[in-house]
Amino acid sequence: MDCIDCHNRPTHRFLPPNKLVDASMAAGAIDPQLPGIKAKAMSVLSAQYTDKAAALAKIRQDLRAYYQKAFGMDYAQQQKRVEQTVDEIVKIYENNFFPRMKTRWDKYPDNIGHMTSPGCFRCHGGNHASADGKVITRDCTSCHVIIEQGPAGSVEKNTDGLMFRHPVDIGEVWRDMNCFECHTGN
């Protein structure tokens, strides 16, 4: 294998809204206490716009209208934190979305991983077998040792490795169905 079988985007990685918004929320730059902020932020980032100026104006307008409605009479009091979050979302857009070049995460997927695009699962998806029936592994533990998982308050830990538990109940579907078929990044 060559480096570029995996590294199709050594730099200029255009990350999906899901990852960008999680990172900013974790850093506190997007206020995680704003009601509905994750879904709303992902939706304004994923929408298609004709050019950057139009995008930035529309993103500001949509977010303000959403929180004016959500907060009603209290909006004036909440305006400062709304505006800080709006500024952060605009900054995320400016750094990761380039409408004139039609450049965004779903147009130029990153092959490292398998969450929002096939990536490693192009070969490790469980459907590549040799003539004598040897399948390229899809076993999570050949690439990961999960040492911690679960929601705050009931985190399971084991430095010898845990069996993956999908965060919401989808049965055992994840064992055969590839992550990117449900997780599109937005």
* Residues at the interface with ligand HEC (CB under 6 A): 1, 3, 5-7, 18, 112-115, 119-120, 122-124, 134, 136-138, 140, 142-144, 164, 166-168, 170, 173-174, 177, 179, 181-183
- Kind of pairing, strands 156-157 and 148-149? antiparallel
Q: Return the number of the residue (49 or 174) whose C-beta is nearest ligand HEC.
A: 174
Smallest separation, CB 177 to ligand HEC (Å) = 4
Return the number of other C-beta atoms located less than 10 Å from residue 136's C-beta. Answer: 16
CB of 105 to ligand HEC, least distance (A): 11
CB of 14 to ligand HEC, least distance (A): 14
Q: How far is it, in rounded angstroms, from Cα 93 to Cα 152?
A: 30
Write phi, then psi, for 116 (nearest 5 degrees): -115, 0
Beta carbons within 10 angstroms of residue 123's beta carbon: 16
Q: What SS3 state is found at 135? A: strand
The nearer residue to ligand HEC, 133 or 167, going by C-beta atoms, is 167
Residue closer to ligand HEC, measured from CB, 56 or 162: 162
Residue (of 176, 185, 116, 93) closest to 140 by Cα position: 176
Q: How far is the CB of 137 from ligand HEC (least distance, A)?
A: 5
Q: Provide CB contacts within 8 A for 65, sequence distance 6+.
A: none
51 vs 139, beta carbon nearer ligand HEC: 139
Residue 113 Cβ, how far from ligand HEC at the closest point, in Å? 3
Give least dist CB 13 to ligand HEC, A: 8
DSSP assignment of 2-53, as one string?
-HHHH-S-SS-----HHHHHHHHHHHTSS-TTSTTHHHHHHHHHHS--SSHH
Give the residue with the Cβ less far from ligand HEC, 27 or 173: 173
Between 97 and 185, CB nearer to ligand HEC: 185
